[in-house]
Amino acid sequence: MDLARHFGSAVRRQRNLLRLSQEELADRAQLDRSYVGRIERGEQNATLESAQKVSDALGVGLDVLFAVARDIATGRKD
Amino acid sequence: MDLARHFGSAVRRQRNLLRLSQEELADRAQLDRSYVGRIERGEQNATLESAQKVSDALGVGLDVLFAVARDIATGRKD
């Protein structure tokens, strides 16, 4: 299953759970806001290091984020 | 926890479980063998798309590979 394709949606879901704006998430992750936006829209083929920064900023592991991506890919809601 | 740093070790563990050589894994993943070698040694900041190709070639999801990376990071053996 192509979980990488749903990584951005998983990031958005976790960001919204934390009631963070993209700006706030980008600041925490020390990444450019537009880069975070492209990741969320699936327009950016992020590197593992950038994905790690985002997961750290969200306070969850990459294993958790990709498990959320699996839920999204299989249509499971919260 | 920096799981990205242990992604390469997780790939190697799964590859060895399947008794695949790096060459065979690279062929399956349609990636260059030296690229797969650098991923395993943690020398390559892979993209999510490349990580997805590797996980597909290993027959496991990225959520599983990062869960293995967590086990490695926390010192849990098989």
Q: What is the pLDDT of residues A11-50, one digit of tens each?
A: 999 999 999 999 999 999 999 999 999 999 999 999 999 9
pLDDT beyond 60 at B78: no
Distance from C-alpha of B12 to C-alpha of B37, rounded to nearest angstrom: 9
Residues from chain A that touch B69, judged by Cβ atoms under 8 A, are: 62-63
Every domain of chain B and the residues it spans: 4-73
Average pLDDT, chain B: 94
Confidence bin at B77 (pLDDT 50/70/90): low
pLDDT beyond 80 at B76: no
What pLDDT sits at residue A70? 93
What pLDDT sits at residue B31? 97
Q: Could you read off the pLDDT of B39-74 as tens digits, one per residue?
A: 999 999 999 999 999 999 999 999 999 999 999 999
The contacts of residue A76 (CB under 8 Å, 6+ apart) are none
What pLDDT sits at residue A1? 77
Residue bearing tokens 């879901």: A13
Contact B66 A70 (CB under 8 A): no
The verdict on A73 touching B (C-beta cutoff 8 Å) is: no
Q: Which of A49, A55, A63 to mutate to test the interface with B (most CBs of B within 10 A)?
A: A63
Encoded tokens for A48: 């593992």
- Integer-rounded Cα Rg, in Å, for chain B is 11
Class level of CATH domain A4-73: mainly alpha
CA distances from B11 to A1, A30, A41 (A): 17, 28, 27
Considering only the beta carbons, identify the residue of B5, B7, B48 that sits closest to A45: B48
**ipTM score above 0.85:** yes
Q: Could you read off the pLDDT of B30-40 as tens digits, one per residue?
A: 999 999 999 99
What pLDDT sits at residue A33? 96
